[in-house]
């Protein structure tokens, strides 16, 4: 990657923004200059990075002058406002919002699955929905065992998917509940402590919420399989970070053996098999939190369908579901096209 990159992070004060900074240090990402960008309200905040403090700036067009790569994690509205501005200044933008994911001209990328979708001329790359990333890390490797026709998915989504404010709301509600006080949600639409509810996004005319629709559409685009049948139910559970998913994978013929599935997943990049039947030990958010790998287990045949098998998956929503996936895209992109500065 040459002698280093000028890096911008838009949404630097949010939960995903903070993860970017940790990852830059842990992975020795070649940051020559770091620009932390946010709204006027957050300007002036100082955030530790690499033994010093970096001051957050209010985002402006000038913020992107000379930037090599910009990581966006400030929501779709901000991405639509600033992504093209950053690209026009010469930056590669890796956007964590939903703004451009289904734009046919914008690659939607999980590096282990479809990095080949990125063309040398692409300057805007979309980071997928967290549940779609975690799902496909477990499912995509199985395509070498046969054609996948259908996925049935139920998600168990943590508060981190709603950002730092939702994580704090869960902590506050839990404290109130345990103290015998009335639980009053401030961010979530329903009581969250010791409760679960349908994902807090709008319901469409077909009865699916926005999160479910995203997983369906994005999975098809990433796998380049518009005919893939996908049925998803997305639920919030009172866990701080790391999503879980129950997955049934249906093939176009008899399902592969459990041994073949374990062997395939064991060699898949970014995947860790946790499948201890004797100890009843399978993927859990308490163990996937803070891990780069997506955990996969409960590997078993579907007794109701000879063409199907079942999995249970857990992955850190803030890492592989968001910031880590974006950083991995940048690592591969600039390794392929090094920047000399």
Which residues belong to the active site? Answer: 130, 243
Rounded CA gap, 154 and 248, in Å?
Answer: 9
């Amino acid at each position: 990657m040459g002698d280093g990159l000028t890096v911008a992070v838009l949404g630097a004060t949010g939960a995903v923004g903070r993860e970017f900074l940790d990852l830059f240090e842990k992975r020795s990402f070649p940051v020559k200059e770091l620009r932390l960008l946010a709204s006027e309200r957050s300007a002036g905040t100082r955030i530790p990075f690499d033994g010093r403090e970096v001051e957050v700036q209010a985002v402006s067009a000038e913020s992107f002058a000379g930037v090599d790569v910009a990581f966006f994690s400030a929501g779709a509205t901000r991405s639509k406002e600033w992504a093209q501005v950053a690209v026009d200044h010469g930056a590669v933008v890796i956007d964590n919002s939903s703004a451009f994911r289904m734009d046919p001209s914008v690659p939607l990328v999980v590096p282990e699955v479809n990095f080949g979708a990125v063309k040398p001329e692409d300057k805007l790359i979309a980071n997928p929905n967290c549940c779609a990333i975690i799902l496909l890390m477990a499912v995509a490797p199985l395509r070498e065992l046969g054609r996948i026709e259908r996925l049935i998915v139920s998600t168990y989504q943590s508060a981190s998917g709603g950002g730092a404010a939702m994580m704090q709301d869960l902590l506050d509600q839990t404290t109130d509940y345990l103290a015998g006080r009335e639980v009053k949600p401030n961010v979530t639409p329903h009581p969250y402590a010791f409760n679960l509810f349908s994902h807090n996004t709008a319901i469409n005319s077909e009865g699916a919420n926005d999160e479910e629709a995203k997983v369906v559409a994005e999975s098809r685009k990433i796998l380049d399989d518009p005919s893939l049948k996908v049925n998803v139910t997305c639920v919030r559970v009172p866990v701080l970070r790391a999503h879980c998913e129950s997955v049934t994978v249906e093939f176009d013929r008899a399902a592969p053996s459990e041994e073949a599935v374990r062997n395939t997943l064991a060699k898949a990049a970014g995947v860790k098999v946790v499948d201890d039947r004797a100890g009843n030990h399978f993927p859990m958010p308490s163990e996937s939190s803070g891990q780069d790998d997506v955990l996969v287990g409960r590997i078993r045949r579907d007794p109701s369908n000879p063409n199907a098998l079942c999995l249970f998956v857990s992955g850190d929503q803030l890492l592989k579901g968001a910031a880590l996936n974006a950083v991995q895209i940048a690592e591969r992109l600039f390794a392929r096209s090094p920047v000399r500065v």
